[in-house]
Amino acid sequence: MTTVTSRPGEPGADAPEQPRRIPARRKQTPQQALRKSVLYAALIVLALIVILPLVWILLTSFKTDGDAIRNPYSALPNPFSFDAYATIANGQQPVFRWFLNSLAAAALQSVIILVTASLAAYALARLEFVGKRIVFGLIVATLLVPPVIFLIPNYLIVQNLGWLDSIWAITIPGAASAFGVFFLRQFFVGLPQEIEEAARIDGAGDLRIFLQIVIPLARPALATLAVLSFLANWNDFLWPVYVLLSPENLTLQPGLSQLQGAYSTHFAIVMAGAVVASVPVLILFFFAQKQIVESVATSGVKG
């Protein structure tokens, strides 16, 4: 338990410009010190609840099969073994390939969403046209519809397009993002129009205004949409389970489910798969976490 002294005026790691408490206390009272300790303790406990399971999984992945079943409660592998990883690498469960597939699909869909939604949002925010109310109304209406409505009909459509077992099946159908259009439209509407009007007077066309004025101003909203779209596709489970067939075309989520099914109680192997699926993601996340977390954070405040 650490006692933390807070010096007045010194901001915390992520405290904003404005201080939270009544300022100008010269020294910290024991009561305040206790509060701080409890606070840190609580946060550390919570952080451990997140981290410890992952550590346990990592340790298990280095056990041999028999060891994992016979001694499930011992923390240290005995013997320390890469057998589980060897099985993953040599077997029919290409976990790293699944990771790459997920990466490609999520990236592709995010790009398509950003492009199509921003173009559509601009039209809805800045242009007057016949049928504007209907189009916008339809888009908003579909926000209320649960995804399962589209499951079977889209399956039949994708099947007829010949897209089963391909990356198109898991990226194109979901690329029509009514939410994306709605979210960006709200944002565009909130942008001041003076610069655009000035450019229009200068003779710039809509596309130029869109590309050179609106898009640069919309960067935070676009980043948010990109992050959210990426995470949504990354997390997609039900749809890929049904439309992806060959083992090498699977993405991470259905793939891991299949790994679990194939090796159900060979815990070391399943955990090794989970580790291979998690480590690259976590590395990417910790490099980009500030951007990612802040993008998600602003989604609730802006929208």
Rounded to the nearest whole angstrom, what is the least distance from the CB of residue 144 to other proteins in the complex? 6
Q: Counting contacts by CB under 8 A, is residue 37 touching other proteins?
A: no
- The residues in 95-114 that bind other proteins, with binding defined as CB under 8 A, are 102, 109, 112-113
Rounded to the nearest whole angstrom, what is the least distance from the CB of residue 195 to other proteins in the complex? 14
Is residue 3 within 8 Å of 41, Cβ to Cβ?
no
Annotate each residue in 44-73 with x if it binds other proteins (CB under 8 A) or - if it does not, as one string.
--xx-xxx-xx-xx--x---xxx-xxx-xx
Question: Could you give the CA distance from residue 255 to residue 241 in angstroms, rounded to a whole number?
Answer: 8
- The residues in 9-28 that bind other proteins, with binding defined as CB under 8 A, are 11-16, 18-22
- 62 φ, ψ to 5°? -100, 10
In 3D, which of 123, 301, 289, 151 has the Cα closest to residue 221?
Answer: 301
Q: What is the DSSP letter of 17?
A: S
Structure tokens at 139: 């888009």
Rounded to the nearest whole angstrom, what is the least distance from the CB of residue 139 to other proteins in the complex? 7
Angle at 113 between CA 109 and CA 119, to 5 degrees: 155
- The residues in 138-197 that bind other proteins, with binding defined as CB under 8 A, are 138-140, 142-157, 159-160, 162, 164-165, 170, 172-183, 185-186, 189, 193, 197
- The residues in 216-275 that bind other proteins, with binding defined as CB under 8 A, are 225, 228-229, 231-239, 242, 245-247, 252-267, 270-271, 273-274
Q: Counting contacts by CB under 8 A, is residue 78 touching other proteins?
A: no
Query: Of residues 84, 218, 222, 277, which one binds other proteins by CB under 8 A?
Result: 277
Rounded to the nearest whole angstrom, what is the least distance from the CB of residue 39 to other proteins in the complex? 6
For residue 221, the number of C-alpha atoms closer than 13 Å in the C-beta half-sphere is: 25
In 3D, which of 155, 170, 50 has the Cα closest to residue 98?
Answer: 170
Rounded to the nearest whole angstrom, what is the least distance from the CB of residue 212 to other proteins in the complex? 15
Structure tokens at 111: 């790009």
Rounded to the nearest whole angstrom, what is the least distance from the CB of residue 100 to other proteins in the complex? 14
Cis check: omega of the bond before 79, within 30 degrees of 0: yes
